[in-house]
Amino acid sequence: MTTIPYVFIGSSVEGLDAAKAIQSNLQYCCESHIWHQGLFGLSGGTLETLVNNLDSFDFAVLCLTPDDLTISRGQEKKAPRDNVILELGLFMGKLGRERVYLVIDRDADAKMPSDLAGITPAKFTKPQKGNWLTALGPACTDIEREVKRLGCKSGHSDLNFIISPFVIGGNKVSIMMVIENRSSNALPPHRIRLKRGTKNHFPFKPSKENEPMLPTQFRAYELPLIDEESRTSFTPDIKAMVTNEDGTNLSESEMSEFCFDILLKDSYTVLYRSEELGYGLIKLIRHFSHFETGMEIIPSDVRAIFDKHRLALIDMHA
């Protein structure tokens, strides 16, 4: 059976007419769930239930209808409900910007959070005769096009990682990572990110950047630690990752903030995510950023991190 995308539709109570029209317009390209259709049961908090269900959805559509009045810098303006803005933030953080869509009334002149500047919403005109299905048609056509283009979230959870630090001539220090695709799905063209908070780092150089990785295939990625021209200083990527803006070294808690992501190429859609791998890699990178001849290649505390997970860590010298 073909898996179809699962879409969350959020709105205020006042925006339910728009939400229902969106659900109806999207019925042939996905399965959708409006917030009031049994997602939040009789027990448990609303926020807790939503957070626990974020992983179930492939996309989210949020209707930002002007239901509240706010005063900003002395001016009274209409604005979306706070709970809908919260849902928007939760889904953007979980699914990425490409999989979350805003729907707004083009004539409402509502006050939007400044953080949404630069995001293009789908727009509709509030119907005069109550035909919400027709009014939301053009906006839903745009959303349907994106849902069909991106499809379901990738199920690439069955990946195997082999991490091989190596030292060449005492000057060149790199980390080689080999990924084996044990999934039954091909891994599309992608890039690797190490992320801490809002800072994105793309230090890995893939052996084949524009080709998918088929099931059972391997792909090698090199992370250079030493600048090849100077042969003495670390690359800008490494410097940015292992130190804070004030020049201090990362603390243990700060290293635990890193996350390892495999992203769809030219996109921020996450295909694979591991906080454990991010933490282990940054500890290994920090160790090699202070590497000197005679040091232990892989310290025991770093090895212990990798041993807890399905990660092979290999000593390799050249």
Would you state the pLDDT for residue 307?
A: 63
Q: What is the CATH number of the domain that holds 114?
A: 3.40.50.450
Residues in Cβ contact with 184 at an 8 Å cutoff, skipping those fewer than 6 apart: 215
Same domain, 290 and 179: yes
User: Distances in Å between the alpha carbon of 261 and those of 147, 214, 236?
Assistant: 22, 19, 20
**What are the tokens at 80?**
């979306």
In this structure, are residues 224 and 288 in contact, taking their beta carbons and an 8 Å threshold?
A: no
Which residues, in sequence order, are CB contacts of 42 under 8 Å at separation 6+? none
Question: Residues, the chain, total?
Answer: 318
Please give the residue range of the domain that contains residue 75.
Answer: 6-150
* Distance, CA of 239 to chain centre: 24
Judgement on whether residues 144 and 24 belong to the same structural domain of the protein: yes
What pLDDT, on a 0 to 100 scale, did the predictor assign at position 56? 76
- Same domain, yes or no, for 170 and 137? no
Cα–Cα distance for residue pair 128/302, rounded to 1 Å: 64
pLDDT at 284: 84
Cα separation of 226 and 241, whole Å?
A: 14
Q: Which pLDDT belongs to residue 81?
A: 81
- Could you say which of 150, 167, 194 is where a domain stops? 150
Whether residues 165 and 146 share a domain: the answer is no
Asked if residue 29 and residue 131 are part of one domain, the reply reads yes
Nearest residue to 192 (alpha-carbon basis) of 218, 221, 213: 221
For residues 221 and 267, membership in a common domain is answered with yes
H helical segments located in the chain: 16-25, 46-53, 82-95, 132-135, 137-150, 236-242, 252-255, 275-289, 300-307
* 175: in domain: yes
Q: What pLDDT is stored for residue 60 in this prediction?
A: 93
124 and 194, same domain (yes or no): no
Supply the pLDDT for residue 128.
85
Predicted pLDDT at 187: 81
> With contact defined as beta carbons under 8 Å apart, do 261 and 283 qualify?
no
From 120, 150, 180, the end of a domain falls on 150
Averages of pLDDT over each 10 residues, the chain, 318 residues: 76 90 92 78 62 81 80 71 86 84 84 70 87 94 89 68 63 78 79 87 84 87 76 77 85 87 80 80 80 69 64 44
- Quote the pLDDT of residue 119: 76
Cα–Cα distances in angstroms (integers) from residue 292 to residues 90, 156, 189, in the given order: 44, 37, 36
**Are 287 and 171 within one domain?**
yes
Beta carbons within 8 Å of 217's beta carbon, 6+ residues apart = 180, 181
The residue among 116, 133, 150 that closes a domain is: 150
Domain co-membership, 170 together with 310: yes
Residue 94 burial (CB < 10 Å; 0-12/13-18/19+)? Answer: middle
| 182 and 51 in a common domain | no
Give residue 80's identity as a one-letter amino acid code: P
Return the structure tokens found at 260.
Answer: 């390892």
What is the structure's pLDDT at 314?
A: 46
DSSP H or E run through 259: strand 258-264
Does residue 1 lie in a domain region?
no
Residues 121 and 216 in one domain: no
Count of structural domains within the chain = 2
